[in-house]
Each structure stands twice: as structure tokens, then as C-alpha cells.
Structure 1
């Protein structure tokens, strides 16, 4: 069976926010991920003076507690930082499931700092052992650092049986939907074909839990000739015993989804018969 790859979504249109250069490498002996923020070019001006005071915030999603920031470069739309950041004590199997999140902000002394743009890069897309220097175009900020929460999902494709196995591992920092400041989350997964619902599976409800561990495994039969038209819609819901269940967030895994989702989908086929795990930022229901 030939390998299956889908095109990356086209983000070339829309507002030009600039681009950022950075490098990423991993030291296996020291269990340390090193990120160097090198420079940015053609950043969007956020101040009335026609410039910005940019700095970069660095996170490894979904871990938002360990946030690192560069220095602020005053009145500069083409800043050079050349600053190095080390995430120490990270075994490689954990690093491979993390997403490097870079948020470029405009510093404001008198009000909230204004986001310029962001980059999300799943680290399992990189050859971390050799180290890589990359340019990435900044994307509009969607509050993507987890305002609805994140979901860890594992995919596996078995060519012989034409089966996609999806494991709903766990969620993190889910948005509270109940008056008590919590939620009763469960996850439902729809197999879609040409936009039509084919088959549904769902997990058990985890009461009053914003960081539930599911570890539920579901199998869907997807014939090889229907893969390009198929997708998995993964919805995180808040169960309500007395009323209608409320949506928390969702993601769509398929060939025509968002950048991170398409990469995960591609890797499932590129590494058929292997489990491929990835954290995903939950999005509003479209």
C-alpha cells in the first residue's frame, strides 16, 4: 500500500503578521530540550507610533506552568533576540507528545500586552536529535493556549484490516461549564464520510473533573479507497442530567482540517501499525 500524505492547509491569505526564526534541539543524555529564539521579521505594528515593542513567550503545551519569555525589544519590527531556553528533565517520550508554542506579544506599560501572532509546532514533526533552525509565519492568535482545554489523542492505522484505532487518553484544563466551577466531561467520536455521520462512539462521563483520564479505545473501519473523504470529529461534552448536554470543545482529524490535525492524520498513515500520540487544542464548535 503506498503511503498517504495530504497537503498542508493554505494560510497564505489574510493579515500579514510577520515571521519568526528559531532553532530546536534535544540532548538525549541530559534529557533537555533547547529552544533558541533568533529573530523576527516584518512584525505587525501594534502601537500608534507605527511600531511595536515585541517579546516572545515560549511554552510546551499542554504544560503552561513552565513559561519562558525573551527580553523586550523596544520600537522594533525586525527584532534580534538570540536567546536560548532550556527545558530540563524532559524524557524524550514526553517531549515527542508536546507542542512548542511561541506567542509574540507587544509590550504595553499601561495596559494588557497585545498579541501579535503565534506559532504551534508539534515536536514529533522534527528530527530533534540533529537540531533544526526554522522560519515560521505567525498566525492570528485564537486564544489557542488552551482556553477550552486540551485533549491527548492516539491514532493507529492498520492497513490489513483497514481499521483506524483512536484512543482518547486524557484531557487537561477543560473549561468549566457548571455553576460549581467544574464540568462532567465525556468524549464522543463520529466517523464522517463526505460530511455525513457514519458511526459514533463515546466514553464514560467523568463527574466534576477538568482533567479527566479516559483511556478509551475505539475502532472504525475505513476502506482504503475512502480515506481521503473520511474524518473523525472528536467532541468534548459536559454531561447534564437535567438538561441538554453542553459542548466544551472539539477537533476534527482528517485531510482537510487544521494544521496540527492534518499533521497528526498524516503521521498516522506514515507510521502505520504504530501508535501516534498528540496533544490537541480544543476549538469552538463550528
Structure 2
């Protein structure tokens, strides 16, 4: 009884498997016919070409062996059609009209000259005149420039770009900028004239100064802006001083810089000279920052080595003394930042003493070191609260306290020091 049942089950399984194979074969055959029909319709379909559109066809047949595939030329290659000009000559004229294709031709080409797979650099060029730079907010007169020092060539490259926020009386005049390295033994300078007038005249000029690697940090770049009236008279608007220190040059490399113009102070020149200082006090950090910028009108030789001694005094006690590096000349530029620790409760009892000193001339080698001369005091100014100062010095201290988020800059006249010579 079991054998007939097994035979019946085996026969049914074979019949079902045979029917399944026949159905699968029929489905695959139908699918292949559908794919062939779709390919045949796709190849035979003619593309719709807009009227008056030039068509460039490949010189070689299609891989399918049927109609050639059309390619459309961009509008920039359209040229006036001449019925008498042969087709080859017309392509040569278009090639001559666009010589930049020689340098931009890609690895894939259609025919003999149409480029594929290449970029058009002329589409990505920046405008010739600079615009839309990130200009700082405010209405002060500024100068925009870039500085880069090339150590291998020992060259300082200065790119003068534009000025901004010129006064109304200067907008109708020609604008001139004179560039010079300080200190400089010669009086030669470079100058650039703005290409246009108005509130933001543009220069777009580049200058190269030859400066040795060993002496580059001893120079300061000065850019003076002048307004030239109809009578060709030069009126100084202000100037920018940029010290050529290695840290400043590294920070400025590859950047567009904006600097406010410094105007000559309305403070009359003191008998002993003037000094420009910036002050800032941070109550949260308990830090007093002093930036000694420059001095002018000092009573010393032009080749003298000058430094500034800055002392923080609380009541009658000097708690800290620091010095700036030396600078040469009667109008030296320091740009040196000094910091002092000062508690908020000590603001009313503290003051700053700035003394400009000239280094004494070196003694001969046979003179003992004990007889070395002390530096010569060229002038002194004390900036502080009402207990120590009056006038501009008091105003500077009070403004420093009220404007904790910025450096407060001001000129001060130097007075005579109590002692002509001070110990080192």
C-alpha cells in the first residue's frame, strides 16, 4: 500500500516542477522581447532640435551603427553664417576667434576642436577692481592694504588697495598715498594715486621694498594719505604705521588689512616732546594694559637709541617697572604692549609713570664697568586719578576705566624729570 502512494507523490512533484520550468522559460522569453522592443524604440526616436540651433555631429559613426548622435553648441560659439564659406573654413574661423580653447582643451573631444571635460577659468575670475571687502564698522578714515614679506628674495611686497570714509572736503579732490620705510636715511618714497574720486577711492597698486632679513624688524612702514586740491597743494589727512615685526608679518600674510588713519594731534608740541599711549583696564582679568605707540619731538640725536620706562605706582611705592625695546630717532615708533596686574580696589590709588630715556653712549673697552653711564631722561609724564594727575592725563585715566572694552589712545606732553640721570 505504501509503494503506490510514494509513486503517486513522486509523479505529482515531477509534473509540478515541469510546469514551473515551462512558466519560467515563457516569462524570460517575454521579458527579453520587451527589452528589445524598448531599445529599438529608443534608438529610432529622433531628438527634437530647436530651430536656428547649430548642430555638430561626430565624424565617426555611433557604436550602435545607426543614426549619429547630435551635439549642441553653446550660444557663445554662434557666429554669422556665410553660405559661400565652406564648413571646414567656418570651424577654423571659430577656432581662431577663441584661442583660449588651445589651453583649455580637455581629454575628450568631439570632431576636431569642440572641448569636453574642461573648465572655463574665465568664468571664475574675480573682478578687476576690489569691492565688497569686509570693512570694519564705523566712520573713521581707513586704509585697506596687504603686506607680505618674501624671505628668500628679501623683499617686502605692499599692495595698496583702497581708502574708505574720506571727509566730505576730500571727496572731490585727488587722493594720494606716500609709502616709506622708517627710519630711513634717504628721503625717497613711493606714491600711489587713486584711480577715482569719492568716499572710497581705489588704488590697486603694488610696491616692492628691498629689506634684509636681519634688519626687517627694525623698520616701520608708514603710509601717509594726502588730498590734492585743484592748485596741486597736498593736504595731509593722516597716516598708518605698520611695524615690520616677524609676528606682525606672519599674522598679516595672505590677509586684507584695514587700519584707521592716525591724524596729527592738536596738542601743541611740548618742550621735551610728546608721547602717544593706549590704555585699557579689564576688571574681570584684573589687568592693566599699556601700549606705548610712539613719540615725537624728542631732544636727542637722530641716531640715538631711545626706550620708554613704564612704572606702576601705588601710593608712594613702585610695584612694577617694565621697559620697551629701543628705537632710534627723535620721532621713534615703539608699538610695544606691557601688562600689569592691578586690583579694582587699587584704581584710585595707582598711577602710571612713563619716562622716555636715551641710552648713554658706549664707553671704551678700557673704562671699568662701574663707570658706565646711566641712561639720560628725555621727559616724563604721569597718568592716573585725581590724586596724581590733572588735565589730559586725568581724562585719559577716567576714560580708560569707563571704556573697558577698547584701547583708549591719546597724546601726552612730556615734562622734565626730577633727576636727569637715573640708575639702570
Normalization by structure 1: what TM-score? 0.50
The structure with the greater share of residues assigned to strand is 1
Which has more radius of gyration? 2
The structure with the greater share of residues assigned to helix is 2
- Tell me: higher relative CO, structure 1 or 2? Use CA pairs within 8 A at least 6 residues apart: 1
Normalization by structure 2: what TM-score? 0.36
